[in-house]
């Protein structure tokens, strides 16, 4: 049994807590939160853009700490699940690793490549696992694409286009602060940067154009270059000012024997699947794979199942490894620099 301590009870901390209740091989034994109301189990103020709303929780048997050091000193805790703002990820993860705990941390791994590298060194020194919550490969459309590419189901990967766009999240006070959240590049596009790194490898250069808001990229399009010059990969991401389309993501992935399409948006508060996952095979056959319930919480359950399995087996996760998440931040930083300078950036 893997005993988990969750640091931070916001929306994601709540989703993780509820998910662990359904998993075999892991249980939450401790929580750490500064808000005394939430620490006592009143989560009614918690609400996200998917999944259940918070309610009053029975936390009997779960240790409750108002300071991180108290959580880290708990000998029952095997792994710390970090659901704190991105600016805190590096320092909290390093402290947890140094205390002998495995770490699962929400994305992004950190706000800078330098901090991400500090985290990787701390994990290596402590001989503990560092995993980062890039949940996108566990969403059914992306999982289908990832497995198809990894297993060579449709031949070699030729390239693709990935998009992820939101309306300006004016309700998030720190979204546009480089030292707190990092704007669309590190809060939004980092999902696709990680997925591209996962299926394509590390690019050798990026060229991006777009517009800035202060010192952060607001909206951009990027061309990624790889050692294989025939691998054509592009990405578009950022924030628009209009509120009518609060979220949109999708992809078009080209393989030797098939092309995969997917496009989903939230328009006027309602989800619209303009293109469910569709596979067009070389012979002209069109497939619409069956993908399960479509409940986003299922993706987090699959992600945490992988986390628990990695800790129990003492192995690095091929999807959630800290080194992949660090590479994703490096890609984002280089894309941001390319937008700002108008030049191609080498990685």
pLDDT the model gives residue 68 = 97
Q: Are strands 345-346 and 205-213 parallel, antiparallel or unpaired?
A: antiparallel
Question: In tens digits, what is the pLDDT along the chain, a chain of 347 residues?
Answer: 999 999 999 999 999 999 999 999 999 999 999 999 999 999 999 987 777 889 999 999 999 999 999 999 999 999 999 999 999 999 999 999 999 999 999 999 999 999 999 999 999 999 999 999 999 999 999 999 999 999 999 999 999 999 999 999 987 889 999 999 999 999 999 999 999 999 999 999 999 999 999 999 999 999 999 999 999 999 999 999 999 999 999 999 999 999 999 999 999 989 999 999 999 999 999 999 999 877 888 999 999 999 999 999 999 999 999 999 999 999 999 999 999 999 999 99
Of 200, 189, 45, 51, whose CA–CA distance to 107 is shortest?
Answer: 189
Q: How many Å apart are CA 81 and CA 218, to the nearest integer? A: 30
What is the CATH number that goes with domain 136-300+328-346?
A: 3.30.360.10
What's the Cα-to-Cα distance from 219 to each of 202, 213, 281, rounded to whole Å? 22, 9, 33
SS (H, E, C) the chain: CEEEEEECCCHHHHHHHHHHCCCCCEEEEEEECCCHHHHCCECCCCCCCCCCCCCECCCCCCEEECCHHHHHCCCCCCEEEECCCHHHHHHHHHHHHHCCCEEEEECCCCCCHHHHHHHHHHHHHHCCCEEEECCHHHCHHHHHHHHHHHCCCCCCEEEEEEEEEEECCCCCCCCCCCCCCCHHHHHHHHHHHHHHHHHHCCCCEEEEEEEEECCEEEEEEEEEECCCCCCEEEEEEEEECCCCEEEEEEEEEEECCEEEEEEEEEECCEEEEEEEEEEEECCCCEECCCCCCCCHHHHHHHHHHHHHHHHHHCCCCCCCEHHHHHHHHHHHHHHHHHHHHCCCEEC
pLDDT the model gives residue 292 = 81
Burial level of 3, CB count in 10 A (0-12/13-18/19+)?
middle
The single residue listed with the structure tokens 């800035």 is: 212
pLDDT the model gives residue 173 = 83
Q: How many Å apart are CA 167 and CA 347, to the nearest integer? A: 30
Q: Can you give the residue ranges of every domain in the chain?
A: 2-134, 136-300+328-346
Are residues 166 and 239 in contact, defined by beta-carbon separation less than 8 angstroms?
Answer: yes
∠ Cα 167 272 236 (to 5°):
45
Angle formed by the axes of helices 113-126 and 86-98, nearest 10°: 20
Q: How many Å apart are CA 22 and CA 20, to the nearest integer? A: 5
Burial level of 197, CB count in 10 A (0-12/13-18/19+)?
buried
Quick one: tokens of 306?
């992988």
What is the CATH number that goes with domain 2-134?
A: 3.40.50.720
Backbone angles phi, psi at 273, to 5 degrees: -90, 90
């Amino acid at each position: 049994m893997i005993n988990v301590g969750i640091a931070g009870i916001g929306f994601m901390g709540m989703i993780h807590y509820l998910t662990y209740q359904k998993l075999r091989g892991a249980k939450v034994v401790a929580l750490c939160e500064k808000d005394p109301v939430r620490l006592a189990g009143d989560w009614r103020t918690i609400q996200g853009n998917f999944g259940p709303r918070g309610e009053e929780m029975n936390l009997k048997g779960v240790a409750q700490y108002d300071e991180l050091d108290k959580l880290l000193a708990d000998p029952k805790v095997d792994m710390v699940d970090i659901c704190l703002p991105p600016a805190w990820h590096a320092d909290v993860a390093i402290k947890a690793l140094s205390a002998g705990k495995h770490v699962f941390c929400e994305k992004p791994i950190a706000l800078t490549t330098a901090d991400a590298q500090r985290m990787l060194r701390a994990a290596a020194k402590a001989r503990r696992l560092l995993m980062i919550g890039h949940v996108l490969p566990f969403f059914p459309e992306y999982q289908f694409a990832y497995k198809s590419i990894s297993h060579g189901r449709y031949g070699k990967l030729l390239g693709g286009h990935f998009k992820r766009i939101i309306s300006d999240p004016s309700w998030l006070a720190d979204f546009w602060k480089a030292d707190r959240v990092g704007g669309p590049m590190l809060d939004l596009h980092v999902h696709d940067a990680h997925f591209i790194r996962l299926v394509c490898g590390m690019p050798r250069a990026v060229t991006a154009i777009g517009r800035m808001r202060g010192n952060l990229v607001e909206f951009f399009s990027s061309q990624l270059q790889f050692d294989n010059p025939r691998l054509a990969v592009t990405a578009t991401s950022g924030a628009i000012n209009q509120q009518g389309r609060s979220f949109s993501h999708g992809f078009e992935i080209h393989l030797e024997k098939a092309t995969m399409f997917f496009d989903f948006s939230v328009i006027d508060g309602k989800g619209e699947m303009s293109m469910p996952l569709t596979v067009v095979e070389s012979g002209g056959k069109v497939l619409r794979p069956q993908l399960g319930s479509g409940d986003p919480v299922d993706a987090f359950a699959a992600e945490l199942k992988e986390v628990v399995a990695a800790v129990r087996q003492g192995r690095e996760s091929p999807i959630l490894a800290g080194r992949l998440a660090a590479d994703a931040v490096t890609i984002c930083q280089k894309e941001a620099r390319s937008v700002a300078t108008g030049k191609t950036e080498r990685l």
